[in-house]
Structure 1
Amino acid sequence: MAAVGKKGERMRGRSLWGWLGAVLFVLCGGPITADALARPAAIPAIPRLEKADLDAWLDGYMLYALKRGDAAGAVVVVVKDGAVLTQRGFGFADVATRRPVDPETTLFRQASVSKLVTWTAVMQLVEQGKIDLDRDVNAYLDFRIPAFDGKPVTMRNLMTHTAGFEEVQRGLNSYDPAKVPSLGAALKRQVPYRIFAPGTTPAYSNFGTSLAGYIVERVSGLSFDDYVERHIFTPAGMTRSSFRQPLPASLRPLMASGYMLGSGKPGPFELSSLSPSGGMTASGADMGRFMIAHLADGGALMKPATAAQMHRTILRLIPPLNGMALGFYEQNINGRKALSHAGDSLNFHSQLWIFPEEKVGIYMSMNAAGRQNVSGPIRSHLFDAFADRYFPFTLRDGRVDARTARDHARLMVGTYNKTRRLESSFLKAMELAGQVKVSLDAEGGIVLSLSPGLGGQARKWVEIEPFVWRELGGKMRLAAQVDNGRVVRFSLDSGSPYVAFDRVPWYLSTAWLTPAFLVSLGALLLTAIAWPAAALVRRRYGVASGLSPAARKSYRLTRGFAALAVAVVAGWILFVSRLVRDFSSLNGELDGVLIALQLVTPVAFLGLFASAVWNIRHVWTEARGRFAKFWGIVMLIAAVVLLWVGVGFHLIGFGTRF
């Protein structure tokens, strides 16, 4: 029955991805029939990007996508040539009351799409000469950002996500307004460690964007909320937009409810302590006005030269993949430049795209993650299908010869870690399940353990030029950075502007460490269970252990520490699961539990190691059986593995930074 259940889960996963592929297949042209094959091929007419065609096309995709994906509602806005082409609401802003999504008035949390407003504010001050993109940001702050290898952080680094900050989570989000500090206080309470030299590595940073927002405050003399209202929302005509948390009373009735599943219960209003990076609320219509301003060479927001500077790609760390502009990142498609930014909170999921040369923009937001987090595929496939329909393009890739392709694929094999990562705290242990593995398929091609294709299957990759691959039958590219004949980093088009994957050193590679850790835990759990069971059996039949007093003590200590170590690992799993499941717990409510775990972990792991060494000494020097000797070795290896994980992934350590 268990096998049947797993198969059912796989089938449900495949069908959920598969229906998106089927819908897009029909929307982008439909199947080829036998009659069509018998007729001479005709060049299909390219649909004109007009409201009637666009509305019909959106109806065919969005209504089915929301229903199939168990998503509550969505808004889609398309602008063209300085005007709104269409703005559509789909589904419900509130499921219980059946309140429909109104593109003009319904408000959505923007999450990281908010960053584009922050970067626009920065560029206004650059235009006025009040901010220098290449000056040390400490010149604008009332606290210090330490240099890395003597190199300071600049505003250009912040805008391209190359300041080198590690990821931080503590206090990032809350549901309680009383627990959201001022922007300055939120930034000062925990400055992230720098793990990369500035300008060298894409590592997406909410802290970095919010630091820029604080500089806007410091330079302008206004609070960030006041600044964007006066200098962005008002001139752009964005009357239903706000960074204020909680929302002003006049806007609260317009707020959409947020859901994990459309069929589930709504969640509370999500608050961000780093508001410039993710705290904006806006209607779809207002986001359309924001796109129009940027597509109109800055419109009322900035001069054309400033807009051109902001939209110009200035950093491409892994050519030829998508690069980074100032705040916007490339999502180029079908031979056309497209600039974008996405944003995801627990319950709201948005993305904005602009085609600067075509003067076309698309915005989409959903108020539910949907089944299997389908909100991401829905919006990315919408963008792909939109481009294929209205901006079609024929790819003309090259091809690397088969022998070279196999050699390059073998060089890619290994374990990699995201550059946007939690490096210095106990949350690094999440890497045990989160590193990316690159392996070979039966044909010698590369296989990634992330980013499945439409059917939930592993993507197939074809090498189109040295160390550049394209998804077979798709648009996605993958490229690697090679140093001295060794692949050290790779990325994908979808995230290359702001994140990459670095090869993990062998001693932290989960390719061997995760299996070793799980086997070790299993051995320790069996040991902990067998200890009292064996004692009961001996007592029942009156059999003595036959151990010397010292051997008996080492035996008992080893079993006791084995039980304690298993309990500690279980405690860490439950603790981290709580943090991931409920981000309101990131504000210090569980610090007591964290400190207790940090106190007991070294006792358990070091005690297990010491007792295992002592135990194996007695096992090998006394007349013990083969199994006792074998299990003594197993216990020692398990103790070493746990200690290795504890040190390498910071489970052994103290402090409430994370």
Structure 2
Amino acid sequence: MRRLFATLGLVWALFASTIVDANPQAPSLQSTSAPAGQLPAAHPLNTADAEAWLDGFMPAELARGEIAGAVVVVVKDGQVMLEKGYGTSDVATGAPVDPKRTGFRPGSVSKLFTWTAVMQLVEQGKLSLDADVNSYLDFKIPPRGGKPITLRNCMTHTPGFEEAVKDLIDAHPRDTSLGNWLKRWTPTRVFDAGTTPAYSNYCAALSGYIVARVSGEPFDAYVDQHILKPLDMNNSSFAVPMPKRILDTMSKGYQDATKRAQPFEIVVASPAGNLAATGEDMAHFMIAHLQNGKYGNTQILKPETAQMMHNTTTRLMPPLNGIELGMMVSDLNGHRIIGHGGDTAFFHSGLYLFINDNVGLFVSVNSAGVKGAGSLRGMLVSGFADRYFPAPNTDGKVDAATAAEHARMVSGSYISARGGFSNFLALMGVVGQLKVVTNPDGTVSFPLIPKPSGEPIHYREIAPFVWRDIAGHERFGAMVKGGKVVRVSSDTVAGIAVYDRAPWYLDAAWLIPATVTGFVVVLLTALGWPVLALVRRSYGARLALVGKRARAYRLVRLGAVAAVAGAGALIGMFSIITGDGGFEWLGNNNWALLLVELIVLIGSVGGLVAALYNLFAVLTGKSSWIAKLWAAALSVSFLMLAWFAWAGGLLTFTTNY
């Protein structure tokens, strides 16, 4: 069972790094050469200084994280100020990264193009941000709480959907139709629309499908004609399959620089993340948004439309960062920063618009890396802001007694609003719970984003129920209702994901230890069965039980064997998922998931029935107190296994996830 939880933890890390798509703001790279408490002077933002700084930062971070290559682009005042490649685009050949020609996969940065397309049709009067999306579809999204889903909900990640992962990214998709992917399964709506930030690839893909239906053009063709070509993004595409001219320029993707190159990732839900683009092409897109829709002599959005995208804030966890119309807010040092992060399995990117400073920063790396590529992009934007846009710290203070009380109130386990709820991905919500803890120094740790070293960050309270990283920018906040903390989040993700207090029956703080203990009891029972049989055989003895008591003895031990087999099947399935192409394999082999769930059902629920029958037989027969105690322990243990299987969505028998 310990192996199972370790495997689940690895899967959760992979799942999160692949689809979180946040903008981590790691500890500041601000210079420490100034005297304590004194703010370093801003450096001039010009090509020479930026290149010198990046040349000191990027190679070291690529080496530390074992990342093969990266591209960084800086734009300022409507011009490309700096574009540079680092490392290699192909480890085998040693080909360097060329910012003008090497293609990268920006992942969910692609959504900014989808939202731009939506806003083009909004300004033409063909779409409304507040109409029921069903009015634009050829299939129906079921209602929840009497509220429909709108494009505004999609752009602010508040449609209330659970996560949809199956066939999202696939190197060898059986069906590349966006419409078919959307219609095969509508994820369950687990929150009322507009109430809860829960990042939704499905809703982004749905928005792109609406663009295609309303415009009468396939989504990739629409973006090509109305965004890419007008912006001279000639080395970029959303097409599925990707054109050969684009594939020929693509960087390879890597788990890390020591591993073999991975197959080209196809995002079947194309509007959610299938863009391939060079660094220079992304510069053109940044310039257009920084100039309110204008690039050169081309206007892809009216100024008022662009400003609406950039200045319509949804903030459901104030005072933490929120989200504009499709653009995440990542403000630093008092400067407004909007943009988007993006992750596939192997490429990790970030686009940041210092919207009031007319400056844009784009970074993309071609490897997941051994230290987590997300920390690199977070450190990059944080260091960039501290170097060129420093600002004094004006945080307030909270008295020690209040801070201690608030730390006590916020401590506990929380479940991500972004995740699976109606299928086996609910298991990630159990084992991947966020645990907020109080530290001896009065700070709290919110381990959503650890330090590059892997250590949790310590946060000190700066205002009621608002904490800040003691060594960086990141804030963490709590929502209080009825005198209790019910929800937490951080600046990094507050616009797209929150964490709700785990109800007692799902709280991993007791559920996981209890499940592990129960499994140990069941495992000892399964192992002891053949051992005791061999001992009896060596002495020529027979089982001293007969009738109902003998049947119960054998049934509960068969249940124990089935439970151990169920744990083994889970370990096997999740071990496959953590490997290259694991989710793709599972998506193509529905029988494997159903078989695992069947074995788990027999081992947990079937074992519980057998254990209760055995307990009844022991208590109503002539049995020793040891037998009665063990029978009771077995019943409680199987109850915990069945509880865990139910909580983890392992008894749903669905192949949708």
Which residue is equivalent to 1:340? 339
1:523 to 1:147, Cα distance in 2 relative to 1, 3 A: same
Give TM-score scaled by structure 1 length. 0.92
Secondary structure of the 2:639 match is helix
1:175 Cα deviation from its structure 2 partner? 1.0
Report deviation, 1:153. 0.6
The amino acid of 2:350's aligned partner reads Q
1:149–1:197 contact (8 Å) kept in structure 2: yes
- Which amino acid in 1 is paired with 2:250? M
* Cα displacement (A) at 1:321: 0.5
Q: CA deviation at 1:191?
A: 1.0
Letter in 2 for 1:589: N
Greater mean alpha carbon deviation, residues 610-619 or residues 320-329: 610-619
602-611 vs 526-535, greater mean Cα deviation:
602-611
Specify whether residues 583 and 222 from structure 1 end up closer, same or farther in structure 2 by C-alpha distance, changes over 3 A only.
farther
Cα offset, 1:393, TM superposition: 0.6
Give the percent of matched residue pairs that are identical in Structure 1 and Structure 2: 44
The correspondence for 2:479, drawn from 475, 478, 481, is 481
Shift of 1:251: 2.0
**Which range moved further: 586-595 or 253-262?**
586-595
Task: Identify the residue that residue 142 of structure 1 maps to in structure 2.
Answer: 138
- CA deviation map 1:252-297 (0-9, x unaligned): 2211000011111000000111000010000000000100010011
2:561 is aligned to 563
Contact 1:72 1:368 in 2 (8 A): yes
Pick from 49, 62, 65: which aligns with 1:66?
A: 62
Task: Show CA shifts across 1:213-235 (max 9, x none).
Answer: 01110111111111111100011
- Report if aligned partners of 2:446, 2:476 keep a CA contact under 8 Å in 1: no
Cα distance in 2 for residues equivalent to 1:28 and 1:640: 53
For 1:376-418, what per-residue CA distance to the aligned partner results, in whole angstroms no more than 9, with x for missing partners?
A: 1111001100000000011111111111111111111221111
2:175 to 176, 180, 183: 180
Look up the match of 2:516. 518
Superposed counterparts of 1:484-499, under 5 Å = 484-499=482-497
Determine if contact 1:180/1:271 at 8 Å carries over to the other structure.
no
Hey, what's the Cα distance between the residues in 2 that align with 1:42 and 1:426? 52
Report what 1:169 is aligned to.
165
Counterpart AA for 2:74: V
1:112-511, aligned counterparts within 5 Å? 112-177=108-173, 179-299=174-294, 300-373=299-372, 375-511=373-509
Q: How far apart are residue 654 of structure 1 and its match?
A: 2.2
Asked which structure has the greater RCO (Cα within 8 Å, sep 6+), the reply is 2
Identify which range, 223-232 or 549-558, moves more after superposition: 549-558
Displacement after TM superposition at 1:147 (Å)? 1.4
Hey, what's the Cα distance between the residues in 1 that align with 2:158 and 2:27? Answer: 36
* 2:107 equivalent in structure 1: 111
Equivalent residues, number: 628
- What 5-or-longer segments of structure 1 have no aligned partner? 1-5, 7-22
Kept after mapping to 1: 8 A contact 2:586/2:593? no
- 2:637 paired with 1:638: yes
Question: How far apart, in 2, do the equivalents of 1:43 and 1:479 lie?
Answer: 26
The 1:514/1:69 distance shift into structure 2, 3 A limit, reads same
The corresponding residue for 2:652 is 653
Give the alignment's Cα RMSD to 1 decimal.
1.9
Q: In the alignment, residue 306 of structure 1 is paired with which amino acid?
A: T
Taking the aligned partners of 1:260 and 1:564, their CA distance within structure 2 comes to 36
Alpha carbons of structure 1 residues 439 and 42: separation in structure 2 relative to 1, 3 Å:
closer
Deviation at 1:584, TM superposition (A): 5.0
Amino acid of the structure 1 residue aligned with 2:172: D
Residue 90 of structure 1 pairs with residue 86 of structure 2: yes
TM-superposed CA distance for 1:613, in Å, is: 1.6
**Alignment-mate amino acid for residue 540 of structure 1:** S
> Could you tell me which residue of structure 2 aligns to residue 15 of structure 1?
none
Q: What's the TM-score once normalised by structure 2's chain length? A: 0.92
What is the identity, as a one-letter code, of the residue corresponding to 2:592? V
Given residue 158 of structure 2, which amino acid in structure 1 is its aligned partner?
A: T
Quote the Cα distance in structure 2 between the aligned partners of 1:553 and 1:207.
50
The one of 521, 529, 543 equivalent to 2:527 is 529
Q: Which residue of 1 aligns with 2:589?
A: 590
Deviation at 1:602, TM superposition (A): 2.8
In the TM superposition, what is the alpha-carbon distance from 1:535 to its structure 2 partner? 0.8
Distance 2:609 2:132 in 1: 50
Q: 1:339/1:609 Cα in 2 relative to 1: closer, same or farther (>3 Å)? A: same
Q: What is the identity, as a one-letter code, of the residue corresponding to 1:396?
A: T
Residue 102 of structure 1 corresponds to which residue in structure 2?
Answer: 98
| Paired residues of 2:240 and 2:266 also in contact (CA < 8 A) | yes
Q: Match of 1:242, SS?
A: coil
**Counterpart code for 2:153:** N
State the Cα distance separating 1:314 from its structure 2 match.
Answer: 2.0
Q: Encode CA deviations 1:293-342: one digit per residue, 9 max, x unaligned.
A: 10011102111101100001421001110011001010000001000201
Residue in structure 2 matched with residue 20 of structure 1 by the alignment: none
SS of the aligned residue for 1:235 comes to: coil
Give the distance between the partners of 2:40 and 2:138, measured in 1 at CA.
Answer: 61
Give 1:52 deviation, angstroms.
0.5
**3-state SS in 1 of match to 2:117:** helix
For residue 578 of structure 1, what is the aligned residue in structure 2? 576
Contact 2:90 2:252 in 1 (8 A): yes
Q: Report the residue type matching 1:213 in the other structure.
A: G
1:427·1:576 contact (CA, 8 Å) conserved in 2? no
How much does 1:583 deviate? 4.5
> Hey, what's the Cα distance between the residues in 2 that align with 1:145 and 1:586?
28
Alignment-derived partner of residue 29 in structure 1: 31
Distance across 2 between alignment mates of 1:316 and 1:534: 63
Q: Deviations over 1:30-70 (max 9, x none)?
A: 557xxx89xxx997542100100110000000011111211
Deviation string 1:495-530 (CA, Å, 9 cap, x unpaired) is 011000001110111111111111111211111111
Q: Check conservation: 2:76, 2:358, Cα contact below 8 A.
A: yes
Residues 641/653 of structure 1: CA separation in 2 closer, same or farther (3 Å cut) = same
Deviation at 1:249, TM superposition (A): 1.8
